[in-house]
Structure 1
């Protein structure tokens, strides 16, 4: 594995809404300036964040992706000390005109630590086994240890 790419999954409703707004915005540009607003909304809905690691060239970047086209500035990979896999909660706020609700989901994160306490967020998932598979791949490439912090007592693997 020379490259490792993680992008958050785009929900289907955002994909449909974003493509529709983008298409209508492009068509509207022919008749009015309001097409820019719709195009902006489309881009906002289609924007996906993530990270990309190029282990062959020893570099990484935090990416923003729109319809498969990724943008981000490459940085050299620092001297990674270990990979940490841990559980945390991800809260999403849903708003309506008269109400607001917070939805909390448990998520597994994979971070690469360097300089004792600095981190690079490498991967997010809802599946523990998937997180450990990715951690093992990265740990074997970088020849580093894995810290399992998914339970109350952390342990080195």
Structure 2
């Protein structure tokens, strides 16, 4: 199951967006229709539910422009991305490692937790500072993106997906 989407535009930009879990869509649609039903009956409290439903459809992610050397983390709502661009610091290396990601969906008293094994790419600078550049469930895809970043920024790749880390 793929939990993240990835876009490359002419191999200059790297964008990853976390996919919205299906339960968030379900809660968002339910809140929206409950709000509409209350509005139709004349209850203005329905506007609050319609407004709350919008926040169930947002996505977060990051975008890196390799040629201009800038990046941003963003929140996307209905196709519009909101986030501040920052200059990319002097990156020392790209780290590729495996981890587990948990996503919690809450609505009123209901809660669901979904855990997935993912592979994350971090860009390290100034020793231990990092920028989360990309995440995927596909190891080949992760190394493909890591190689692209390494070639464009002329840096090394650290493979930390196994117990023994190694430089590529």
- TM-score tier after normalising by the smaller chain length: 0.7 to 0.9
Stretch moving more, 112-121 or 86-95: 86-95
Equivalent-residue separation in structure 2 for 1:141 and 1:45 (angstroms): 36
Aligned position for 1:90: 101
Aligned ranges for residues 95-134 of structure 1 at < 5 Å?
103-134=114-145
Equivalent-residue separation in structure 2 for 1:127 and 1:114 (angstroms): 25
Stretch moving more, 32-41 or 11-20: 11-20
Alpha-carbon deviations, 1:54-87, whole Å to 9, x = none? 2232211000001211100111000011000001
Q: Tell me the SS of whatever aligns to 1:139.
A: helix
Structure 1 residue runs of 5 or longer lacking an equivalent are: none
The reply to whether residue 9 of structure 1 matches residue 38 of structure 2 is no
Equivalent-residue separation in structure 1 for 2:111 and 2:24 (angstroms): 19
Aligned position for 1:71: 82
| Count of residue pairs brought into register by the alignment | 157
Q: Tell me the SS of whatever aligns to 1:80.
A: coil
Q: How far is the alpha carbon of 1:135 from its aligned partner?
A: 0.7
Equivalent-residue separation in structure 1 for 2:32 and 2:125 (angstroms): 40
In structure 2, the CA distance between the partners of 1:101 and 1:9, relative to structure 1 (3 Å rule), is closer
Q: How far is the alpha carbon of 1:125 from its aligned partner?
A: 1.2
Q: Tell me the SS of whatever aligns to 2:164.
A: coil
Q: How far is the alpha carbon of 1:43 from its aligned partner?
A: 2.0
In structure 2, the CA distance between the partners of 1:31 and 1:78, relative to structure 1 (3 Å rule), is farther
Aligned position for 2:55: 44
